[in-house]
Amino acid sequence: MSYAIIGFGKIGQALAKAFARNGMEVSVATTRDPESFASAAAAIGPEIIPKKLAEAVKADVIFLAVRFESHPDVAKALPTWQGKTIVDVTNAYGVPPEELGGQPSSRVVAHAFTGARLVKGFNHLGAAVLEQDPAVHGGRRVVFLASDDDGAAAEIGALAENLGFSPIKLGGLSEGGLLVQARGNSWGQLIFKDLVKFDR
């Protein structure tokens, strides 16, 4: 299984730190030449591989860590996303709901990435929290996952565990997934709730 993070800003770098912490290789890409962010990648660890966008999207699992407004540009990188899993980390805060046809933003993203399996997740915490070691007081920091594809949710759940988090599956994008969606100028009820799960 190969991994990529598209977008290497605050949240992309927070995700990259989780991969590096666990010795897992991940490609990272932006609109820029990979050399321009090679030193930022190297500062996180040798597991972080800067690539051109066209190369990075060859990965099996792709974290979308760009502004919501930029997702159509990323989607143009491939004619079909069949066989790939997109993890939608975007928050469409401030985007008028009518611009989304009243749909949850993750459905709009799923539509743009034709053929992909989409999991909404890793988006409910600020980057300054997400970048921290998720092992907290003997428990594990929670990430929420929502998908209309149970297999994709299970796959990303296993990845979240490998990255040290405790995943909680919320069900479909228009079901529990609404709890981690921004809508217009309001946040879903679980956004910014920094929870830790303790196994007994």
CB-side neighbour CA atoms (13 Å) of 96: 2
Residue of minimal CB distance from ligand NAP?
9
Among 2, 10, 42, 94, binds ligand NAP (CB under 6 A): 10
Written as one letter, the residue type at 93 is: Y
Q: Which CB sits closer to ligand NAP, 13 or 85?
A: 13
Instruction: Please tell me whether residue 67 binds ligand NAP under the rule CB under 6 A.
Output: yes
- 31 binds ligand NAP, rule: CB under 6 A: yes
CB of 88 to ligand NAP, least distance (A): 9
Instruction: Work out the angle at residue 89's Cα, subtended by the Cα atoms of residues 38 and 48, and round it to the nearest 5 degrees.
Output: 25
Residue 49 or residue 89: which is nearer to ligand NAP going by CB?
Answer: 89
Q: What gap in Å lies between CA 104 and CA 97, rounded to an integer?
A: 8
Contact 8, 28 (CB under 8 A): yes
Total number of residues binding ligand NAP (CB under 6 A)? 25
Nearer to ligand NAP, 42 or 151 (CB): 42
Instruction: With CA atoms as reference, report the closest residue to 165 among 149, 145, 179.
Output: 145
* Residue 72 backbone dihedrals phi, psi, to 5 degrees: -65, -30
What DSSP element (H or E) covers 140? strand 139-147
Which position among 127, 154, 168, 195 is part of the footprint of ligand NAP (CB under 6 A)?
127
**How far apart, in whole angstroms, are the C-alpha atoms of residue 196 and residue 142?**
5
Residue 53 or 153 with smaller CB distance to ligand NAP: 53
Residue 160 touches ligand NAP, criterion: CB under 6 A: no
Residues forming contacts to ligand NAP in the complex (CB under 6 A) are 6-12, 29-32, 53, 65-68, 70, 73-74, 89-91, 123, 126-127
